[in-house]
Amino acid sequence: MSETSIQVENLSKTYLVGHQVRRERYQSFRETLVREGRNFARKGLDMAAGRQIIQGDEIEEFRALDEVSFEVKQGEVLGVIGHNGAGKSTLLKILSRITDPTEGRVTLRGRVGSLLEVGTGFHPELSGRENIFLNGAILGMKRAEIRNCFDDIVEFAGVSKFLDTPVKRYSSGMYVRLAFSVAAHLRPEILIVDEVLAVGDAEFQSRCLGKMESAARSGRTVLLVSHNLATVQRLADRVILLKKGAIIADDTAGNAIAEFHRVNSSMRDETETAYRISSPNLKVEEVVTRPSHGFVQGSMEIEFKITNTAPTPEPHSFFVILKNPEGINATSHFSKDTDKTFPLDQKSQCFTVSVDSNCLLPGRYTVEAGCFDSSGAILVWAENLGIVEILPQMDSGADFDGRTGNSTQRANWSTNSD
Amino acid sequence: MPLPVTILEPGRSEKHYWRDLWTYRELFHVLAARDISVRYKQTVIGILWAVIRPVLTMVVFTVVFGKLAKLPSEGNAPYALMVFAGMLPWQFFSTALSEASNSLIGNSHLISKVYFPRIIVPTSTVIVAFIDLAISFGILLGMMIYFQFAPSWQIILLPLFVLIGFAASLGPGLWAAALNVKYRDFRYVIPFIVQFGLYLSPVGFSSSVIPEQWKIVYYLNPMVGVIDGFRWCILGNEAQIEWTSVFVAVVSTTLLLAFGVRQFRKMERSFADLI
């Protein structure tokens, strides 16, 4: 069982990209003519030499993958995570033989089935029935194989009534369900999957997830790329984290995801703190969360610093707001709720907010903080102070159970017999 | 059972290319079947389009070349029949070539999302052109009955010329398809070549009207041999056949096919990056 199924050695992929040189707003006809003439001559030469044509005035090499090496054992589920442009899709495209590597070598043991998109090759004019055969053949299934699981495919997709309707008349949900259903019945030894779970409604997604899980449990090697960390955590035995074309972590799912969050939070400096309400003498800075890369559901701590050029013994109260990625306030904490006020009598003061029972669901939240004066007017309100990451993990350290909603809260439960 | 091992390396010529092609053989039918069934969807007269187009072209050619220009037919064969016998292979060639050259662009969503031997895409479009050929052949039979023109024994050699025609369209078709991915200029070049070729090939007229001193140059066009061969098979001894033209056609189409496949395979691996 522990035979190597995918072996990747020093894999690199380089693309050529063209740039348009920044131009002055007004340019003379002569300049345009000279530039166009030069571009035309270059394109002509490229074509004569059989090279590809690149638009733009300057050409640069872009390394999408840089000396990547890893191994996947048979029956292992490997997750690949990373930001957009980290090289995930390029890696999958090379492994599924769509594009050639520039350097390096890949050895694949077994038939490869790749799902870089659901419904590849679906033709809108053809009926559902015809598209099942078309899509199946494109994904490398034999006609007989498709016929064998035809009923399962139709049943899983739930489109039996519309089998002879052209798929262009399908609702987008039906379309995607049918497409995934064909793909889910693919039976290769190595399965390469990209983001396909980002389709359909929640109920269908969880069915897809179950299907993927059973594929993984049946001893097939699965390579899974997703932005959905909860999915990766649930399915993958091991995760590699890509950044700018290189592997920066190759570890268990939990560790690699934690590393991903750490990398993310160190990148938060790129967004500048902004003031919704600014004050001439007060500045809010440095949000630190403990543990610094996030926390399990349960207790959390946020620390921020206020610098003050005009210290005063007057009592102030403070607030912290956490916003979800959609920019909506997810929760807030006000010091006045516990009748706490603090004087701002130092040049620099640290404030700590600690919550025993966190109500937020896993995700990234942006921190805002500010302070009120004794009359209740807001003196300063800073946005984009930093990011708080709630890991997809339960208090007990177990995997996140997948609950959805805006918030979740610990409550006291009881029952009585009547 | 030992698992098949695939090694991916830059520039490595695929050792199992032809075996892969065999594994994916069903994709030929499936893609061809798709193109056929999609072809006349949402049209009112449907498959009739496959009949109307060649018949009208034949009428125009017969009137322009036969009646107005008063060009001679082959022997005593009716001019309309002679034109139609020539249009059969020409139409096959032109549809196959133009469809094949656009096929990769038209299927770019497949090229960039799944692996299969790319050669299947242009080849299956050429197969679709056979359907039109079969329909046109049916019309030809109808015309032969109308003109009470009995075919002679040569008609059994027709498949041979169909094969040459197939090779003549597939070779350049593959090359054009590959070039079209890289340089979209060919999208405009191919229709132009097809339009031009119609007048360089003996479609509306008989090869006998070509002056002797130009024949050498004229025979370099492989479709001359194919069209003359079709006429010879269909019209029998009414048509003259110059075997040099057939010989040139066989040699040049073989070379073109080999060249087309080679060029296609050379460029194939970069399609997904360029399309």
Mean pLDDT of chain A: 82
Tell me the H-state helices in A49-114.
88-95
Predicted confidence (pLDDT) at residue B157 exceeds the cutoff of 60: yes
Predicted confidence (pLDDT) at residue A71 exceeds the cutoff of 60: yes
CA atoms within 13 A on the CB side of A55: 3
Q: Which two tokens stand for residue A411?
A: 């409550």
Rounded distance between C-alpha atoms, residue B202 and residue B227, angstroms? 7
User: What are the angstrom distances between the C-alpha of A37 and each of A31, A48, A57, A60, A349?
Assistant: 10, 17, 11, 20, 64
Predicted confidence (pLDDT) at residue A357 exceeds the cutoff of 80: no
Query: pLDDT tens for residues A265-280?
Result: 665 545 667 888 888 8
**What domains sit in chain A, N to C, each tagged with a CATH number?**
70-266 (3.40.50.300), 274-394 (2.70.50.60)
Task: Find where tokens 């034949």 sit.
Answer: B58
Amino acid at B20: D
Query: pLDDT tens for residues A326-338?
Result: 778 888 999 988 8
Rounded distance between C-alpha atoms, residue B191 and residue B232, angstroms? 28
For the question of an ipTM over 0.90, the answer is no
Size of interface A-B (CB pairs under 8 A): 109
CA atoms within 13 A on the CB side of A317: 13
Predicted confidence (pLDDT) at residue A198 exceeds the cutoff of 70: no
Minimum Cα–Cα distance from A116: chain B residue? B113
Rounded distance between C-alpha atoms, residue A91 and residue A105, angstroms? 12
Residue A52 makes CB contacts below 8 A (sequence gap 6+) with A16, A46, B182, B270, B273, B274
Beta strands in A76-206 (DSSP E): 77-82, 103-109, 112-115, 190-194
In 3-state terms, chain B is what percent helix, strand and coil (to 5)?
Answer: 75, 0, 25
- Which stretch of DSSP H or E encloses residue A254? helix A253-266
A112 touches chain B (CB under 8 A): yes
Rounded distance between C-alpha atoms, residue B144 and residue B135, angstroms? 14
Q: What is the pLDDT of residue B15?
A: 67
Query: pLDDT tens for residues B247-264?
Result: 999 999 999 999 999 999
* Domains in chain B: boundaries: 16-274
> What is the phi-psi region of residue A231: left when phi exceeds 0, alpha when psi lies from -120 to 50, beta otherwise?
alpha
Share of chain A above pLDDT 90, in %: 9
Chain-centre distance of CA A135, in angstroms? 27
User: Comparing C-alpha atoms, which of B145, B157, B166, B7 is closest to residue B78?
Assistant: B145
The radius of gyration of chain A's CA atoms, rounded to the nearest angstrom, is: 27
Tell me which residues of chain B have a C-beta less than 8 Å from any C-beta of chain A: 3-11, 23-24, 26-27, 30-31, 34, 37-38, 41-42, 107, 109-116, 182-183, 269-270, 272-274
Tell me if the bond preceding B159 is cis, omega within 30° of 0. Answer: no
- Asked if A79 and A239 count as a contact pair (C-beta separation under 8 A), the reply is yes
Predicted confidence (pLDDT) at residue A294 exceeds the cutoff of 70: no
Rounded distance between C-alpha atoms, residue A165 and residue B183, angstroms? 38
Predicted confidence (pLDDT) at residue A291 exceeds the cutoff of 60: no
- Which stretch of DSSP H or E encloses residue B253? helix B243-268
Interchain proximity A15–B38, CB inside 8 Å: no
Q: In what order do the strands lie in the sheet with A348-355?
A: A282-290, A300-308, A348-355
A169 touches chain B (CB under 8 A): no
**B chain contacts of residue A99, beta-carbon cutoff 8 Å:** 269-270, 272-273
For the segment B231-245, the average pLDDT, to the nearest whole number, is 84
